[in-house]
Structure 1
Amino acid sequence: MSFVYFAYGSNMLPARLQARCSTARVISTATAQSFGMEFSKQGKDGSGKATLVRSDLPDAATPGVLFEIERSELHLLDTAESAGYGYDRLDDFPVTNNSTGETAPATTYIACAPVPELIPFDWYLALVLAGSHYHSLPQEHNDRLRSIRHVVDTDHSREGRIEALRALSQHRYDDHLSLLRGQS
């Protein structure tokens, strides 16, 4: 038995998600209507992580990717996403499948206590951008991601940084800073 997961942040990059949930398989790109995206979820490292935020703007929408994952790995995703501590898991979040045009519920995670002034690390933003690029999400989304203010993480021993660079390398993104500058 499996579930459908909507990724809109760093988990869009298959190597990142499959390191957490080995059964994850891409279904299609999708869109969360009436939601924008911010980097206002506080990570364990103090930096900003992606979260969806409801928006009343008429054209508000955030693209992402639908994955099918074996239900036996849901607890692994909950752990990776700090479900109940940093993110709330929603199992009936409506998204529009870009291949079929149908809207259906998916599982996703949204920050339970956003902190608007947070800034993402360079490697984290690069993961999100690489996932967007990998799945050919709209260029305006990539441009918006590249415009997000970020901070270069000088702690080269940070576990999250090491894991992120490994996932990026698996998809041939060997220079994450060039990716952020639009040179990859």
Structure 2
Amino acid sequence: MEDSCTFLYFAYGSNLLKERLQLKNPSAMLHCVARLKDYKLIFGNYKGLASERWHGGVATIEHSPGDEVWGVVWRMNKSDLKSLDSQEGAYSAVEISVRTKSRELCCRTYLMNSCVYAPPSPQYLLVIVMGAEQNRLPKDYQEKLRAIETNKYEGPLPLMVELELE
């Protein structure tokens, strides 16, 4: 389903929220909801350094037989690839196969390098939950996201203002 000008990107963290992804990647258009089998969603920091943007752990995925991660497949112009790679600086791009209701799709996604587990800030988790709701991920998966323990950070986050969420 890719053409020479676009690619498919599987988002599972803050980029579930359209407004977040489109801040620097305006071509992103919803393609579908999909499931990544045998992985789980985790939160951490690159080399243990807390995210200045989110003040806590950020989402990544790791291989975990029997688990699954739900997310959104975005179709994006290749002209946004440099911006997306830059945004995901502490991550490595990988090709994965995700499952939709009717087929498998090959997508680009990102895995955090040198991840040290750390809980997310409440604000970061809120962006993920809002993206899950916006894209109608399965209700039980949305509940699982809401149940994630946060680090209880209460300070300001400039990105939340930029997203008009504060």
Normalised by the shorter chain, which TM-score bucket? 0.7 to 0.9
Is residue 72 from structure 1 mapped to residue 79 from structure 2 by the alignment? yes
Which string of whole-angstrom CA distances, capped at 9 and with x for unpartnered residues, describes residues 14-72 of structure 1? 00000020110000001111111011244532621011111122xx1111000011101
Q: Which residue of 2 aligns with 1:51?
A: 60
Partner of 2:158: 162
Change (3 A) 1:35 1:76: same
Q: Which has the larger displacement, 41-50 or 131-140?
A: 41-50
Q: Distance in 2 between matches of 1:123 and 1:109?
A: 21
Aligned mates of 1:93, 1:56 — CA distance in 2: 15
CA contact (8 A) 1:130 1:168 kept: no
- AA at the equivalent of 1:3: F
CA distance in 1, matches of 2:25, 2:86: 11
Residue 42 of structure 2: which of 27, 38, 41 is its match? Answer: 38
Measured on the aligned residues, the alpha-carbon RMSD in Å equals: 1.6
Shift of 1:162: 2.4
- Distance (whole Å) between structure 2 residues aligned to residue 137 and residue 154 of structure 1: 27
Aligned to 1:140: 140
2:93 alignment partner AA: R
Number of residue pairs matched by the alignment: 157
- SS at 1:153's partner residue? coil
Question: Structure 2: how far apart are the matches of 1:162 and 1:32?
Answer: 31
Distance, in Å, in 2 between the alignment partners of 1:165 and 1:34 is 35
Larger deviation: 13-22 or 107-116?
A: 107-116
CA distance in 1 between partners of 2:162 and 2:138 (Å):
25
**TM-score, with structure 2 as normaliser:** 0.87
- What runs of 5+ residues in structure 1 fail to find an aligned partner? 175-184
Q: Report the secondary structure of 1:132's partner residue.
A: helix
Taking CA–CA contacts closer than 8 Å with sequence separation of 6 or more, which of the two structures ends up with the larger relative contact order?
A: 2
1:29 aligns with 2:33: yes
Structure with the bigger percentage of helix: 1
- Give the deviation of 1:165 after TM superposition: 4.5
Describe the SS at the equivalent of 1:56: strand
State the partner residue of 1:178: none
- Contact between 2:45 and 2:51, CA under 8 Å: does it hold in 1? no
Superposition TM-score, scaled by structure 1 size: 0.79
